[in-house]
């Protein structure tokens, strides 16, 4: 990918570009916790966006999306927003840097990506992080890494119409090979934890159901509202820090549905902390147990799973997979799986065959390697 991006840049714009890269991400555990002020536990992956960039001395950006074979040209003022949706990510990053006082000019760029689309690995965050990191470097802006992540998040909010949290951009910018990052979504403090499954005889992989269920109503907003109602009864801003004992004490003051939603979130906060402690002692079996607990909590209490994802988790358990759970918001997409090396091939073959037999199409398998965040490529 690096070579094809470089070659295309030379072909269109000439020599002198610098290559930058940012990764997609996985989240090992900590789902639906961000808006509850809790913890998430992402890591950067070995797939992402690569961009060749060279300043052009004008006030115009000329961009070429190699995967789409499309080009765009736009200025750097608010009224210059491009028509193409992919170009809005680059434009938005430029505008958000300017809003923060960064003085930038035009540039030429060619970019491509190998983040699997629809797998919940955040290709859009990788794109934003690449350009935020690159422009910060090329213009010596001195913007701190966490603010680069916020620039990506603000781009989604203000230019792409997506009200996302900070996790995807944070993981893309801050990623570190062989480590996951526990991000406190209340204080925004984070800690690296060692994660090297291969060294301990495990592999990490995604199984993509290639299913996305159309949602009736606004299930995400409904669940958020449930959590906020329970937090209010507890006298808290968020569910973060609440205990099961506290929840049981107010059970008769809240609906059954709100009780189940809160039970999942309170349990998930503890599971994230358990997994962090387990990794510090290289205890991958406990990590796997907590992953299954999260899956069935999301399925039964939070009710964001679907038949296909429950089937994938069940087949994983039957194949002796150490841990498996829904990754992402739910209602389709992927499971993330922690598999012993010696069981990997059998699990891939079994889950592919049984899923196709039941649903008429094969799932997609993506091995995951935890890698570095935004960087300049040599």
Active site (catalytic) residues: 168
What is the edge-to-edge ordering of all strands in the sheet holding 39-40?
39-40, 179-184, 190-194
Distance CA 251, CA 266 (A): 14
DSSP string, 53-97: EEE-SSSEEEEEETTTTEEEEEESSGGG--SSHHHHHHHHHHHHH
Q: Quick one: which of 191, 189, 194, 148 has its CA closest to 172?
A: 148
DSSP string, 119-167: SSS-HHHHHHHHHHHHHHHHTT----HHHHHHHHHHHHHHHS-----SH
Distance CA 185, CA 372 (A): 21
Exposure string for 89-105, b = 16+ CB within 10 A, e = fewer: bbbbbbbbbeeeebebb
Pairing between strand 42-55 and 70-75? unpaired
């Amino acid at each position: 990918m690096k070579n094809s991006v470089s070659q295309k840049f030379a072909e269109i714009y000439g020599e002198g570009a610098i290559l930058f890269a940012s990764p997609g991400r996985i989240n090992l555990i900590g789902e639906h916790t961000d808006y509850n002020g809790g913890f998430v536990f992402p890591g950067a992956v070995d797939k992402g966006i690569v961009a060749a960039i060279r300043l052009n001395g004008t006030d115009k950006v000329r961009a070429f999306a190699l995967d789409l074979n499309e080009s765009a040209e736009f200025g750097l003022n608010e009224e210059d927003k491009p028509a193409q949706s992919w170009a809005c990510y680059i434009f938005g990053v430029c505008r958000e840097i300017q809003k923060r006082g960064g003085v930038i000019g035009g540039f030429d760029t060619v970019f491509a990506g190998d983040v699997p689309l629809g797998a919940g690995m955040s290709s859009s965050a990788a794109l934003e992080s690449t350009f935020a990191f690159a422009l910060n470097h090329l213009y010596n802006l001195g913007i701190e890494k966490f603010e680069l992540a916020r620039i990506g998040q603000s781009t989604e909010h203000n230019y792409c119409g997506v009200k996302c949290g900070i996790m995807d951009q944070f993981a893309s910018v801050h990623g570190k090979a062989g480590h996951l990052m526990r991000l406190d979504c209340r204080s925004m403090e984070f800690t690296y934890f060692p994660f090297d499954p291969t060294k301990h005889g495990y592999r990490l992989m995604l199984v993509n159901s290639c299913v996305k269920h159309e949602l009736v109503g606004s299930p995400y907003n409904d669940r958020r509202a449930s959590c906020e109602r329970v937090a209010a009864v507890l006298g808290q801003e968020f569910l973060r820090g609440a205990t099961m004992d506290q929840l049981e004490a107010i059970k008769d003051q809240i609906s059954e549905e709100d009780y189940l939603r809160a039970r999942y979130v309170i349990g998930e906060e503890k599971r994230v902390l358990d997994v962090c402690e387990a990794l510090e002692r290289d205890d991958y079996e406990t990590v796997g147990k907590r992953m299954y607990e999260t899956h069935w909590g999301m399925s039964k209490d939070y009710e964001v799973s679907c038949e296909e994802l429950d089937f994938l988790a069940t087949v994983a358990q039957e194949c002796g997979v150490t841990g498996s759970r829904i990754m992402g918001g739910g209602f389709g997409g992927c499971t993330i799986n922690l598999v012993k090396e010696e069981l990997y091939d059998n699990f891939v073959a079994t889950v592919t065959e049984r899923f196709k037999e039941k649903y008429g199409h094969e799932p997609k398998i993506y091995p995951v390697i935890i890698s570095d965040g935004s960087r300049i490529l040599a």
